[in-house]
């Protein structure tokens, strides 16, 4: 019996010590079987097979390209994680993004998104049936109603810019989108030059791309706007700077003696656009599909009459001067872009450029030396009660599009987007938030990170921890055991020595007793 207890004690000690060698991940550690048999299509239209193309440690994020907030930020965070890895580590890490909006996210759309974000890794999509099998394999619940609400909910007229100067004085300006701002920006994107002047009546356009109206006024450049009710172009009686571009999203310039009925219908994919009819009867259109922080900045500051300078470079637009306060050439400070987080009700540095930050709501420009905590709230603080989202979230949107942004671990009640109920532990809802997995070399989801509020250093540490555990990324050449492994080996040696010593002692006692009981015969 004593020998049996001794064996049990030794086994328990060994198991306890072995358990101490388990990796300590910063994200949520999982215990799942491998994801198998997944074959999807990447942004280049080529097949991507997880079993053969996802090598080493695999980082899998779930996104959709129409996502206005979390997904672009998440993509930039993962780019930062990739940059933190060494060249040797990077060779054994595969990054993959999987769409949760396959009906919109075609390979062509994913290619545009990946190029715009600067994320060259595979972005995968497929048919709805194929994607549902993938989501199920990962334990992801796609909240299509949340995706639909996000896409339809954005109202640029509710957006704003907060300005902070070098003396920490601030001012708040709502987004204004005049016909003149629209004309200027679309002309810049199309490469058209504008010849315009200002009189007591308003802004007058004399010429577009070198085509000037004649001095005898036999014709002039006239403004038209698209009437959504009548589905027809109509002449505008206002100067272009007085035209509300949010009410009249599509504007046309044409010679006053031109043919209005020949103007083409605006592109349905354009949120706002300019159509040109040249004197020879030909047409050009230039439009934007989504508003970004560059458009928001231009509209809000133009509308407020604030002078500023935004330079257009091969790397995109960046702010150099506001209200005659120029960022110094020695880079002792610069103009930084901040985004308002409605959930945490705080400002945070924008992780995207003003061109890449789509459908912004509240943004702020401030010197990099400014006290971010002193930037005023762009909206009145939200007072949460038990009646709002069951006390587990906050409301977003208005009217029929109002919905809860549920806290982590909660999701909408079935059929009720204004309620938040506890979610299933091992399933992750993707809609207003998202989930990113880190898989081991056997394609087993090992660590989960929710949302986009995690730190790059923490996520990178988990990737490196798994690389070391899998002996990948150069870690196989490391012959020095880690502290936990060394401790375990030493402890096991002590346990073996203790057990061996006890066994020898007991064996000795047994021999002695046998000698006494059975003395040698003469």
Checking if the pLDDT of 251 tops 70, the result is yes
Count helices and strands (H / E) in the chain.
Answer: 11, 30
User: Strand locations in 329-387, DSSP E?
Assistant: 335-341, 346-349, 362-367
* Residues near 371 by beta carbon (within 8 Å), at least 6 away in sequence: 168
Give the pLDDT confidence score for residue 190 in this predicted structure.
94
Q: How many CB atoms lie within 10 A of CB 275?
A: 24
Which is it for the CA torsion 403, 409, 414, 419, positive or negative? Answer: negative
Q: pTM score, two decimals? A: 0.57
Query: Residue 323: which H helix or E strand, with range?
Result: none
Which residues, including other chains, have CB under 8 Å from residue 116's CB and lie 6 or more apart? 356
Looking at residues 113-138, what average pLDDT do you find?
93
Q: Domain extents for the chain?
A: 1-139+435-503, 156-378
Residue 430 has pLDDT above 80, yes or no: no
Task: List alpha helices for 173-292, DSSP H.
Answer: 179-190
What residues form DSSP beta bridges with 160?
174, 362
Segment of 298-312, 335-349, 412-426 carrying the highest mean pLDDT = 298-312
Sign of CA dihedral 74, 76, 80, 82: positive
State the chain's maximal CA–CA distance in angstroms: 146
Which H/E stretch holds residue 97? strand 93-99
pLDDT at 399 over 90: no
Q: What are phi and psi of 327, to 5 degrees?
A: -65, 130
* Topology classification of domain 156-378: Ferric Hydroxamate Uptake Protein; Chain A, domain 1 (2.170.130)
Tell me the C-alpha distance between 75 and 62, whole Å: 10
Residue 371 phi/psi, 5-degree rounding, is -85, 105
Q: Give ∠ CA 221-226-227 in degrees, rounded to 5.
A: 135
In Å, how far are 62, 144, 356, 405, 465 from 149, measured between CA atoms?
A: 18, 9, 21, 11, 38
> Alpha-carbon dihedral of residues 143, 147, 152, 153, nearest 10 degrees?
80
Note the pLDDT of residue 345: 79
CATH homologous superfamily of domain 1-139+435-503?
A: Glutaredoxin (3.40.30.10)
**309 — pLDDT class (breaks 50, 70, 90):** very high
- What's residue 506's pLDDT? 43
Q: Check for a shared fold between 1-139+435-503 and 156-378.
A: no
Q: Average pLDDT for residues 470-482, to the nearest whole number?
A: 69
- Per-residue confidence (pLDDT) for residue 141, from 0 to 100: 81
- Segment 93-111 shows an average pLDDT of 95
Q: What is the mean pLDDT of the chain?
A: 83
Report helix, strand or coil for 111: helix
Confidence bin at 321 (pLDDT 50/70/90):
very high
């Amino acid at each position: 019996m004593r020998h049996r207890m001794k064996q049990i004690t030794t086994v328990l000690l060994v198991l306890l010590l072995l358990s101490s060698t388990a990796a300590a991940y910063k994200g949520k550690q999982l215990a799942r079987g491998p994801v198998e048999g997944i074959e999807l299509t990447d942004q280049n239209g080529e097949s991507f097979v997880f079993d053969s193309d996802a090598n080493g440690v695999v980082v899998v994020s779930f996104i959709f390209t129409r996502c206005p907030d979390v997904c672009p930020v998440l993509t930039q965070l993962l780019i930062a994680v990739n940059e933190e890895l060494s060249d040797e580590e990077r060779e054994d890490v595969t990054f993959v993004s999987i769409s949760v909006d396959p009906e919109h996210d075609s390979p062509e759309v994913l290619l545009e998104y990946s190029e715009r974000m600067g994320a060259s890794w595979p972005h995968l999509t497929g048919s709805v049936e194929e994607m549902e099998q993938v989501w199920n394999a990962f334990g992801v619940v796609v909240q299509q109603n949340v995706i639909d609400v996000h896409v339809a909910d954005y109202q640029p007229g509710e957006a704003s810019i907060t300005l902070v100067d070098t003396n920490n004085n601030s001012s708040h300006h709502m987004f204004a989108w005049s016909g003149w701002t629209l004309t200027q920006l679309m002309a810049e994107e199309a490469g058209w030059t504008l010849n315009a002047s200002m009189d007591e009546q308003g802004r007058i356009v004399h010429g577009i791309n070198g085509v000037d109206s004649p001095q005898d006024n036999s014709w002039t450049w006239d403004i038209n706007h698209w009437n959504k009710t009548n589905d027809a172009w109509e002449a505008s009686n206002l100067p272009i700077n007085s035209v509300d571009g949010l009410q009249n999203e599509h504007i046309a310039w044409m010679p006053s003696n031109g043919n209005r009925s020949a103007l083409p219908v605006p592109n349905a994919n354009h949120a706002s656009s300019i159509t040109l009819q040249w004197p020879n009867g030909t047409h050009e259109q230039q439009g934007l599909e989504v508003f970004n922080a560059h458009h928001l900045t231009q509209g809000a500051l133009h509308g407020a009459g604030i002078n500023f300078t935004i330079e257009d470079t091969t790397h995109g637009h960046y702010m150099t001067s506001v209200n005659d306060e120029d960022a110094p050439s020695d880079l002792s400070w610069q103009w930084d872009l901040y985004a308002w987080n409605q959930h945490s009700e705080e400002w945070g540095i924008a992780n995207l450029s003003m061109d890449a930050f789509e459908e912004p709501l509240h943004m702020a420009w401030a010197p990099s030396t400014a006290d971010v905590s002193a930037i005023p709230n762009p909206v009145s603080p939200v007072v949460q009660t038990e009646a709002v989202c069951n006390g587990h979230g906050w409301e977003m949107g208005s009217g029929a599009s109002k919905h809860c942004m549920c806290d982590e671990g909660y999701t909408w009640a079935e059929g009720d987007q204004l309620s938040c109920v506890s979610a299933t532990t091992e399933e992750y809802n993707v809609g207003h938030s998202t989930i990113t997995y880190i898989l081991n070399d056997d394609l087993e989801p090992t660590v989960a990170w929710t949302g986009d509020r995690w730190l790059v250093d923490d996520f990178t540490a988990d990737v490196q921890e798994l690389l070391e555990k899998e002996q990948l990324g150069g870690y196989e050449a490391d012959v020095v055991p880690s502290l936990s492994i060394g401790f375990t080996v030493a402890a096991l040696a002590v346990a073996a020595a203790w057990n061996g010593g006890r066994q020898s002692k007991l064996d000795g006692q047994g021999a002695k007793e046998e000698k006494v009981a059975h003395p040698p015969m003469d």
